[in-house]
């Protein structure tokens, strides 16, 4: 079943009845994205939410100075979207690009609202998922402030080994908030 991963993910965070599970899944359509393709580009309005079932994505912005800044990587079991753009129908500041041939379960903006109406439990599911997400963002801020670049690099490769191995050093450095030259020097040290 193409929805197995999604179901598994839901059941970790909420208690859906069989009927609810089926209804929930019916909203999501499989979509294949080839390596290097963008599923969202800066300036576009984000009209979907996606759940990654295969492959890996990079979510990043390009700032005024032209530097790429990676917000996060989304491998299997992660969600993809620009919440702000999706929520407020405004142009996205984020790019979402496949790092390898990937598959995503997509729900449209319109269906997402319907989903909340037809499956009240979905509110709880996403409320809980968002809570967890906030905790992760807070921790990242603290790490950025209290750890050196080298310590952040170690943390990243030990905590996300599957993702880290898929990345070029340039991608990793744009996530850590350092230049790729400096990452190269860090790696040489250790």
Contacts with its own copies by CB under 8 A lie at 61, 63-65, 67, 69, 71, 83-84, 87, 116, 120, 123-124, 126-128, 130-135, 137-138, 140-142, 144-146, 177
- Dihedral of the CA atoms 70, 35, 170, 91 (nearest 10)? -30
- Name which of 86 and 103 has its Cβ closer to its own copies: 86
Residue 164 is a binding residue for DNA (CB under 7 A): no
Cα separation, 105 vs 103, whole angstroms? 7
Residue 148 is a binding residue for DNA (CB under 7 A): yes
Residue 37 is a binding residue for DNA (CB under 7 A): no
- Name which of 103 and 186 has its Cβ closer to its own copies: 186
Q: Which does 32 bind (CB under 5 to 8 A by kind): DNA, its own copies, none?
A: none
Whole-number CA gyration radius for the chain: 18
- The three-class DSSP label of residue 23 is helix
Shortest CB 35 distance to DNA, Å: 8
Of residues 16, 109, 2, 11, the one with CA closest to residue 53: 2
Residue 184 is a binding residue for DNA (CB under 7 A): yes
Residue 34 is a binding residue for DNA (CB under 7 A): no
Say if residues 105 and 3 touch (Cβ distance below 8 Å).
yes
Of residues 113, 104, 103, 115, the one with CA closest to residue 27: 115
Shortest CB 118 distance to its own copies, Å: 13
Pairing of strands 79-80, 95-98: unpaired
Shortest CB 170 distance to DNA, Å: 4
């Amino acid at each position: 079943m193409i929805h197995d991963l999604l179901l598994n993910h839901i059941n970790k965070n909420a208690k859906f009845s069989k009927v609810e599970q089926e209804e929930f899944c019916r909203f999501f359509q499989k979509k294949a994205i080839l390596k290097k393709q963008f599923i969202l580009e800066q300036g576009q309005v984000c009209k979907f939410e996606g759940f990654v079932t295969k492959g890996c994505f990079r979510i990043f912005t390009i700032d005024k100075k032209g530097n790429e800044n990676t917000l996060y990587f989304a491998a299997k079991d992660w969600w993809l979207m620009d919440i702000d753009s999706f929520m407020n129908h405004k142009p996205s500041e984020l790019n979402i690009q496949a790092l390898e041939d990937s598959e995503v379960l997509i729900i449209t903006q319109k269906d997402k609202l319907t989903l909340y109406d037809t499956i009240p439990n979905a509110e709880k599911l996403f409320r809980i998922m968002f809570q967890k997400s906030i905790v992760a963002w807070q921790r990242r801020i603290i790490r950025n402030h209290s750890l050196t670049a080298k310590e952040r690099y170690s943390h990243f490769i030990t905590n996300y080994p599957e993702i880290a191995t898929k990345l070029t050093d340039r991608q990793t450095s744009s996530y850590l908030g350092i230049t790729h030259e400096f990452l190269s020097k860090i790696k040489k040290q250790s």
